Structure 1
Amino acid sequence: MSAVPGRPPVPFTPVGVTVAFCPAPPLLVPTVEGRPEKATAALRRACADAVAAMLAFRPEVVVVAGTGAPAGVRFGDGDAGDLRGYGVDLELPFAGRVRPGGRRLPLAHLLGAWLLDEAGYAGTRVGVGPEDLPGFVRSLPGAVGVLAMGEGSARRSVKAPGYLDPAAEPFDDAVADALGRGDAAALATLDDAEGQRLLAEGVPVWRAVGAALSDRSVVGRLHAATAPFGVGYLVADWRAR
């Protein structure tokens, strides 16, 4: 059965690639947020729905993609990160148990692992950077899940981290449209320079997903497109054959 309310039941037959697109703000973790906010609770639910939809097809491995990972690095068992920089004394492993000498996780991979844990996923997971995602996904046999972590523009309001830029909302709207339509080509050709100017952290990851699935038929569903704190939070899931 489907893990997303309102979506018709789906058989558990392997598909090529399923993707969950989620942002990576630290406040996804309730202990970081502190006092609950309705906007954050709604974002958390949207991410949970997208991850559940990705996992509904029982991928043999989930690849967590996010910025901050050097080219060629693979995060796995024993690697860990923490949220001490956000006022919470919490260390989380990417998979398995934290081991001495393990690699330190970028925030995107730390929160991606947290989302998978929250979803109850206990299967194989690997963390990569955007540069490595297309080739790595194509090298994997069987059903593959991708958890693509990244935000839209951080210039959506005067209180945003990068202040207001009139181009920020149209930029995020175009990404949201591509996510909802399952348009891999549109993601693959996002303007990287404009994304950097608009402080859109997700652009390298979105471009990588688009490149990885450029030769596939994709069905997309947009779960959320909001900017409650001046940063674009886009949540979606894709099924690609």
Structure 2
Amino acid sequence: MLVAAAVCPCPPLLVPEVASGAAPELDGLRGACDTALGAVLAARPDLLWVVGPDAEHISFEDGGTGTFGPFGVDLAVTLGRTGSTEPLPASLSVGAWLLARAGWDGPAKGLAVPDYLEPDLCAANGVRLAESAARVGLLVLGEGSARRTLKAPGYLDERADGFDAAAARGLATADSGGELSAMDDELAFELMASGRAPWQVLSGAASGALDAELLYQDAPYGVGYFVASWT
């Protein structure tokens, strides 16, 4: 059963060593992530799943190892306690870093979900995760539209603000109104919103049974970043 979840974005810049001189710009975001993840740890889950976007649909049942070498930083992170050397995608590497920062030393597994995964399959993945232990915690990673401004990675798209506003409502209400579960996967793809599939996994796992609080909402660099706590 899902007992708590933290929703965070997963840009590598969240890691201060990667951000370097720009690190202070995201201090508020890091603090919000710490708060959301602290609530998950306080719920005492038996198992913590890290869910994030990637090109492939893969479960990391035995943890895995991530590196920030591709971003110019000699820093490695490990997910879980098994010592598996299976390479983690970038999103789950950020998740493993957040868990280490929070002091989590319990069992952790990973799930990467691609942007082509259909909403009903995302929900089914969420049900599976919720049933994987008596008390399950989730760290759900992903961003809103990357087309919020002219300087955004995907340039400006006028649909981006409305899409992200619906995401914020869903994250702030534990998807009680169905904003997350109803997200259009094709529109999300066009808006470069990496959080769509992970958020729909969360919605499937929670089934509207949790309270929610939106802790952070902004679009630095033209990308929608959200932090939410579901408990």
With the length of structure 1 as denominator, give the TM-score of the two structures. 0.85
Q: For residues 69 and 198 of structure 1, what CA distance do their matches in structure 2 show?
A: 16
1:89 paired with 2:74, answer: yes
Q: For residues 34 and 121 of structure 1, what CA distance do their matches in structure 2 show?
A: 25
Q: Which residue of 2 aligns with 1:62?
A: 48
Max radius of gyration: which structure?
1
Q: Which residue of 2 aligns with 1:178?
A: 170
| Deviation at residue 37 of structure 1 after TM alignment | 4.7
Deviates more, 1:22-31 or 1:67-76: 67-76
- Structure 2 unaligned regions, length at least 5: 114-121
Q: For residues 118 and 92 of structure 1, what CA distance do their matches in structure 2 show?
A: 11
Q: Match for 1:218: what amino acid? A: L
Q: Indicate which of 107, 117, 121 corresponds to 2:104.
A: 121
Q: Which residue of 2 aligns with 1:152?
A: 144
Q: Match for 1:21: what amino acid? A: V
| Deviation at residue 201 of structure 1 after TM alignment | 0.4
Give matches, 1:192-231, under 5 Å. 192-214=185-207, 216-231=208-223
Do the aligned residues in 2 keep the contact of 1:94 with 1:113 (CA within 8 Å)? yes
Q: Which residue of 2 aligns with 1:112?
A: 95
1:98–1:124 Cα change, 3 Å: closer
Q: Which residue of 2 aligns with 1:19?
A: 5
| Deviation at residue 169 of structure 1 after TM alignment | 1.5
Q: Which has the higher helix share?
A: 2
Q: Match for 2:143: what amino acid? A: E
Question: Percent identity, aligned pairs only?
Answer: 38
Deviates more, 1:45-54 or 1:29-38: 29-38
1:162 paired with 2:145, answer: no
| Deviation at residue 171 of structure 1 after TM alignment | 0.8
Q: Match for 1:212: what amino acid? A: A
| Structure 1 segments (4+ residues) deviating >6 Å | none
1:50 paired with 2:36, answer: yes
With the length of structure 2 as denominator, give the TM-score of the two structures. 0.88
Q: For residues 56 and 127 of structure 2, what CA distance do their matches in structure 1 show?
A: 15
The alignment covers a number of residue pairs equal to 221
User: What SS class does the counterpart of residue 171 from structure 2 fall into?
Assistant: helix
| Deviation at residue 45 of structure 1 after TM alignment | 0.5
Deviates more, 1:127-136 or 1:166-175: 127-136
Do the aligned residues in 2 keep the contact of 1:226 with 1:232 (CA within 8 Å)? yes
Tell me the alpha carbon deviations over residues 165-223 of structure 1, each in whole angstroms, 9 at most, x when there is no partner. 11111211110111111215321111111110000001011111112222x42211000
Q: Indicate which of 20, 31, 34 corresponds to 1:34.
A: 20
Do the aligned residues in 1 keep the contact of 2:2 with 2:130 (CA within 8 Å)? no
Q: For residues 117 and 17 of structure 1, what CA distance do their matches in structure 2 show?
A: 20
Q: For residues 153 and 52 of structure 1, what CA distance do their matches in structure 2 show?
A: 26
Tell me the alpha carbon deviations over residues 3-46 of structure 1, each in whole angstroms, 9 at most, x when there is no partner. xxxxxxxxxxxx74211000000011100001145431111111
Q: Match for 2:213: what amino acid? A: R
Do the aligned residues in 1 keep the contact of 2:2 with 2:206 (CA within 8 Å)? no
Q: Match for 1:27: what amino acid? A: L
1:140 paired with 2:125, answer: no
Q: Match for 1:208: what amino acid? A: V
Q: Match for 1:111: what amino acid? A: V
